[in-house]
Amino acid sequence: MQSEQIAGILALLETIGKGMEYLQSHEDAKTARAVLAGRRSAALQIEQALGDTLTKRISADALCDAEWLSAMYRIVEQLADPFEPANAFDREFLGFIQHIWNTSEDELLQQMKRTLNEWKKTPDRKGAYQGFVDYFARFPLWGTLHPERGDFDTLRRRAAVLKRHSYDFLWLCRRLDDYLSKRTLTAILSNWAVLDLAYPQTVCSATKFLRNSDSENEKK
């Protein structure tokens, strides 16, 4: 994406942000129309650069004004300086994020529900199923989860966060300097997206190994 176009979009986003801030304390139909027109213009330019719709990429229609503006800044930053994977862990993370971009919130939710149902039906996974359900019954910090009632609110919220904040996660990954941190982030998000229990355990084992190694080195 050309630097002049990036600069133009950033200037437009700044103007939109000022308009949104003004509308928080004022009722002004003219400003509201200008903000709406600005959003449409910015979205169109960004979608052309992405080759994809913002609705498909991040469920943009579901975002509030502040979330939308923040997401646009993140996307423009990525367009201006595309993430170039430098190693296998970067490639793994980017592959995961691209999967999120190409999967709708409902599809993510259905995948989680299928996995949970498979746990319930598989003898050696029933413990994992019950432990998962009991945990959210005891700590409903992320919504509620009662599969027997058809209540999958926790999983729906997870799918929404993964989709709508995917560029925030990409931004974070790009600022992690070590492989273990990147693997930890990927493991957490993979657990959210597909209820992957194995990957987090692998990362935990690696972390324990490194801690034990550090302790041994300190003793020496």
Q: Dump pLDDT digits (tens) for 159-183.
A: 999 999 999 999 999 999 998 899 9
Residue 77 CA to residue 91 CA, distance in Å, equals 19
Q: In the prediction, which pLDDT does 202 show?
A: 77
Residue 91 CA to residue 47 CA, distance in Å, equals 24
Q: In the prediction, which pLDDT does 210 show?
A: 45
pLDDT tens for 15-73 read: 999 999 999 999 999 999 999 999 999 999 999 999 999 999 999 999 999 999 999 99
Half-sphere exposure of 27 (CA within 13 A, CB side): 0
Helix (H, G, I), strand (E, B) or coil at 146: strand
Residue 164 CA to residue 180 CA, distance in Å, equals 25
DSSP-assigned letter for residue 103: S
In this structure, what are the phi and psi dihedrals at residue 151, rounded to the nearest 5 degrees? Answer: -100, 110
| Beta bridge mates, 146 | 151
Q: In the prediction, which pLDDT does 200 show?
A: 74
Structure tokens at 126: 């029933």
3-state helix, strand, coil in the chain (%, to 5): 80, 0, 20
Give residue for tokens 């691209």. 98
In this structure, what are the phi and psi dihedrals at residue 59, rounded to the nearest 5 degrees? Answer: 55, 50
Q: In the prediction, which pLDDT does 207 show?
A: 56
Contact between residue 38 and residue 16 where contact means Cβ atoms under 8 Å apart = yes
Q: In the prediction, which pLDDT does 198 show?
A: 79
Higher model confidence: residue 140 or residue 8?
8
Residue 177 CA to residue 53 CA, distance in Å, equals 31
Residue 186 has pLDDT above 50, yes or no: yes
Q: Which of 80, 62, 59 is nearest to 13 (CA)?
A: 80
pLDDT tens for 79-106 read: 999 999 999 999 999 999 999 999 999 9
